[in-house]
Structure 1
Amino acid sequence: MPNRLASFRPAMFTRIPVEALIAGVVLTALPRRPRLVVAWVGGVALGVQTMLNLLDAGFYQYLGRDFNAVLDWPLLSDAYSYLQDTLGQAGALGVLLAAVAIVLVVLAVSALSVVRLGNVMARHRTTTTRTVLVLSMVWMTCTVLGLQFGGVPLAAERTVTMLKARSDLVRQTLRDERDFAKTARVDAFGATPGSQLVPDLRGKDMIFTFIESYGRSAIEDPIMAPGVDKTLDTSTQALAKAGFHAKSGWLTSATYGGSSWLGHSTFLSGLWIDNQNRYRTVTTSDHLSLTKVFKKTGAWDTVGIMPGVQKGWPEQKYYGLDKVYNAFEMGYKGPKFSWSTMPDQYALEAFQRLEHGRKRDKPLMSEIILTSSHTPWAPIPKMVGWDQLGNGSIFDAIQKAGNKPDYTYTSDTHSKEEYGKSVQYSVTALTQFLERYGNDDTVLVFLGDHQANAHVSGNHASHDVPCAIVAKDPKVLDRIAGWGWTDGLRPAHNAPVWKMSSFRDRFLTAYGSTPHPSAD
């Protein structure tokens, strides 16, 4: 059985698996009781392998990678929470019960099938022996001659290959956990005094903003690009009229399709955080995050706007945030938009009301996570008058008139169209906020955390996301003139592409920070 949805085609099921031939010999030769034990164990193992293949297919479609049997079990609870937010409690429970039923049925049917087949072969030993012998000769002939059907080799040893790959992944994961802990203890700026960090940004109000699922495909895919590119160009022009200018480039995210926190931590830590173990390691360490840099200087107040956080968030300490506003602390009384707890425009207005618009003794450094472009992209908020936002109840009618989540679940074209609209909305809300509330000392850094899943970006999309720096003060952009980034909010196709983990050190260096490495 394939472990990619794109490989589910008839030719994949015409192969002769060598493991089946070996099993035929073993089951035929064994006495009844040992045969039953081997058949039951082998059948359950076959069912487990089938479920792992299905998990691989699903993970690759949504996260661009295979299922990791060591790290990924906690993501299943996150998936259930996502279903609750998009389908409701009853719908999520229905999906959960169906998934449990499928697992039990697959395991039971696999085991019973192997037991039954073993008994049939034992009753017809002569016929079975001849059949296995002939098929073995066919298998060897196909192997030697490289015979294929529909581009697929007829002789297969896939189960053995997959078992080896899975065991290798387990060993690699355990080894990586040890090695990464050593890597995280070394930091080029770990021992830099606060007085020597970002001296060229003193007095600036810094805003670091992540736009959910804002990836390269939004700017270059033929379905999504026309609307998104027009929004970026229009926003660039509107910002220019307000005195703001921008430069943009590409960053390669450590994650794809989901697990946004891996992208956030990679960008802010300067380390490649592509799995949950790495995330736990770095967020419980003293490794200096980009946001914590500003707290360490003592020259900034720090705050987080996190509309997607709906439970305890101990990572606040690692990111150096004095105050974090979660989904329940911004006064929102309007409807949820599927997974997103509130429209981005409201979250930004709440940021202005609660923190950004307050008089203070120090400039403000903010980390903002915008969530309106989160899957399933239905329903999508619409912009309203900034003075009409109130407590968010104005969005009731917009939410009710929007598409239901199944509108995008059942069509890749609908997914692309609605995803593109959601990105346009998020970019518009952010840039209008800057036009309305930004000043001569405002510096905005915004980027996508990862590409959208394969339903939108395709099965072979890059992991690149756009990143832009926006400011009124020309000195801010002069500092990154050597980066080769594109003028405006829309990076050129051939603009530089860096690993997301490289941004922190480049940024700190560009704005005058002095490296003082911490020792391992």
Structure 2
Amino acid sequence: MSHPTPHPRLAWLRRHIRTGRGVAFGTTVLAVALLLVALVLPDQPDHLTPKAFVRLPAEGILLAALLLALPARMRRAGAVAGGVLIGLLVLLKCLDLGFYSVLYRPFDLVLDWGLLGSAADYLRETSGRTGELATIAGVVLLAVAVLGLITGATVRLTTLMVRHRARSVRGTLALGTAWVTCVVLGLHSAGQPVAATLDADLLGDRAHQVRASLADARIFRRQAAVDAFAHTPADRLLTGLRGKDVLFTFVESYGRSAIEDPAMAPRIDAVLKESTASLKAAGFQARSGWLRSPVTGGGSWLAHSTFLSGLWISNQQRFRSLTSSDRTTLTGSFRRTGAWRSVGVVPGVLVAWPEGRFFGLDHIYDGHHLGYHGPDFGWSQVPDQFTLETFRREEFGKAGRGPLMAEIILTSSHYPWAPVPRMTDWAKLGDGSVFQQIRREGKSQEEVWKSPESVRAEYRASIEYSLHSLVGFLQRYGDRNTVLVFLGDHQPVPTVTANSPRKDVPVTIVAHDPTVLDRISGWGWTEGLKPAPDAPVWPMDAFRDRFLTAYGPQPGR
């Protein structure tokens, strides 16, 4: 018995219906997956594991129940609002992931917007204006896509739930019962509770953070009103250092991990021991301790201003308030005496820097005025050795000059440590062209960041280079009247520190004249360039007052 051949249009229609059903089913599965990922997405990189997504989100279950309960005329608006809120929370969690990766803390909704501008500046300096604009455009498009896709997914699933209302109600009740059961039994997966309330917890934490951040300006004004040295006569400031050249030098990202992490400590320890011995042979002695920085991973200017002002500058709002005030800074105190010429050597500054006057600097050598014509090394525009040699040529080595106070920023150990410069003959530095070959032989960022072990190795090499540059400068050009204070500004990024919560950085004072170190004999610091593990740890904002006190008029003198 023969079967009739189906009409071509009927066969096409059947195929079209099957295809449409397949597309609809696939779209629904993608919508469910997208919402699940959005609701359970962690906000910290070390929680970003496959098991983190095997959880029941309370927010999703409650949203489903709410949308089913809403009147029909309000349901679509509720779905759109819910989708937008989830999308915004996803964007906030993405910001948190970025901030935890670099600064080891979440994004501050009140105080951190200015740091996004700093991130754009970093992109421009490392990738050029085109790279900066392309990245910003990509981020904006991605943010719009996230909001659109999550909102669309929420609306689609709401429509399906209403269409199959009875089954949706039973499914929502079953999921709610499962969530409560997981809570009662305390079920966990990979150390995280299976019954998740991640977004609710995130909103609660942010509400507390916003209240604290809004109150921060008032708290800071109260703290800044107290200044023990605001009215100290100029002739009573820094009397113990008169006639000395005092160099305050920040070594980028030189943190406690460089000295104590097993992967880096042996090499850094060898450099510090060798340098201590070579300086001792040249007549120099050193004492070292620890300071707790207000930041970690980045935000060097906040650490610099904390160290120099004696105030805890942990965010951009505080920094702006400080630099618009008349606060007495450590560097400004030298200028106030009239006994020193004060200079700043800041190779990382490539734009106008009006803050330099606030910090009491008579003259500033920024990245455009160091006479460097060699290649950059990642973010660092000028190798540390060349920075120090320029300071010698322009200021330190001039005949017949008076005492100098200098703030010097060394940037070669700045993220991303690719490539890292190496030491060369001081006499052959010239205009910096000698670094071209060193740059070509260095590793690319892609090579360095292929593994955490490689990142730590190059970070360690950059710290070695910075220490060799600084100690080499002191050996070559220092004399009896040279006093060097050098310290790290903050710990490096969590990839290097293995997420260590410590914010300590080493600080060292080196001097040829023994009376300089005699004045800090009561500080409990360690002899040499390496602070002992149990050496005192001071908050960085305590240094200004301790230093000015130690080197001011002494009883009986």
TM-score by length of 2: 0.89
Check if 1:306 corresponds to 2:372.
no
Q: Which residue of 304, 319, 339 maps to 2:359?
A: 319
Check if 1:378 corresponds to 2:418.
yes
Check if 1:409 corresponds to 2:445.
no
Q: Is the Cα–Cα contact under 8 Å of residues 42 and 198 in structure 2 kept in the other structure?
A: no
Check if 1:356 corresponds to 2:430.
no
Cα distance between partner residues in 1 of 2:150 and 2:553: 61
Q: Is the Cα–Cα contact under 8 Å of residues 148 and 154 in structure 1 kept in the other structure?
A: yes
- CA shift, 1:92, in A, is 4.2
Which position in structure 2 is the counterpart of 1:282?
A: 322
- CA shift, 1:93, in A, is 4.4
Q: Is the Cα–Cα contact under 8 Å of residues 189 and 514 in structure 1 kept in the other structure?
A: no
Which residue type is aligned with residue 268 of structure 2? V
- CA shift, 1:360, in A, is 4.7
Cα distance between partner residues in 2 of 1:11 and 1:361: 66
Cα distance between partner residues in 1 of 2:450 and 2:90: 25
Alignment of 1:1-20 (within 5 A): 1-20=41-60
Check if 1:176 corresponds to 2:176.
no
Which position in structure 1 is the counterpart of 2:237?
A: 197
Q: Which residue of 470, 485, 490 maps to 1:450?
A: 490
Which position in structure 2 is the counterpart of 1:469?
A: 509
What secondary structure does 1:495 align onto? coil
Check if 1:146 corresponds to 2:186.
yes
Structure with more contact order per residue of length (Cα contacts < 8 Å, sep ≥ 6) = 1
Q: How many residues align?
A: 515
Check if 1:479 corresponds to 2:501.
no
Q: Is the Cα–Cα contact under 8 Å of residues 372 and 381 in structure 1 kept in the other structure?
A: yes
My pick for the range that moved more, 442-451 or 286-295, is: 286-295
Per-residue CA deviation, residues 465-484 of structure 1 (Å, 9 max, x unaligned), is 11000000001111111111
- CA shift, 1:90, in A, is 4.9
- CA shift, 1:271, in A, is 1.0
Q: Is the Cα–Cα contact under 8 Å of residues 250 and 487 in structure 2 kept in the other structure?
A: yes
Which residue type is aligned with residue 85 of structure 2? A
- CA shift, 1:91, in A, is 4.5
Which position in structure 2 is the counterpart of 1:260?
A: 300
CA RMSD of aligned residues (A): 1.7
Which position in structure 1 is the counterpart of 2:125?
A: 85
My pick for the range that moved more, 96-105 or 318-327, is: 96-105
Cα distance between partner residues in 2 of 1:216 and 1:372: 18
- CA shift, 1:89, in A, is 4.7
Alignment of 1:336-351 (within 5 A): 336-351=376-391
- CA shift, 1:459, in A, is 1.0
Structure 1 residues not aligned, in runs of 5+: 516-520
Q: Is the Cα–Cα contact under 8 Å of residues 114 and 316 in structure 2 kept in the other structure?
A: no
Alignment of 1:30-41 (within 5 A): 30-41=70-81
Per-residue CA deviation, residues 187-246 of structure 1 (Å, 9 max, x unaligned), is 011111111111111111100000000111111112222222111111111111111110
Structure 2 residues not aligned, in runs of 5+: 1-40
Which residue type is aligned with residue 382 of structure 1? R
Q: Is the Cα–Cα contact under 8 Å of residues 343 and 372 in structure 1 kept in the other structure?
A: yes
Q: Which residue of 370, 373, 386 maps to 1:330?
A: 370
Which residue type is aligned with residue 430 of structure 1? L
- CA shift, 1:503, in A, is 0.9
Which position in structure 2 is the counterpart of 1:114?
A: 154
Check if 1:399 corresponds to 2:432.
no
Cα distance between partner residues in 1 of 2:392 and 2:131: 37
Q: Which residue of 452, 459, 473 maps to 1:419?
A: 459
Cα distance between partner residues in 2 of 1:403 and 1:371: 17
Which position in structure 1 is the counterpart of 2:528?
A: 488
My pick for the range that moved more, 6-15 or 409-418, is: 6-15
Cα distance between partner residues in 2 of 1:181 and 1:314: 22
Q: Which residue of 225, 235, 249 maps to 1:209?
A: 249
What secondary structure does 1:192 align onto? coil
Which residue type is aligned with residue 256 of structure 1? T
Cα distance between partner residues in 1 of 2:379 and 2:553: 39
Per-residue CA deviation, residues 162-183 of structure 1 (Å, 9 max, x unaligned), is 1121122111111011210221
Which position in structure 2 is the counterpart of 1:62?
A: 102
Check if 1:24 corresponds to 2:24.
no
Which residue type is aligned with residue 338 of structure 2? G
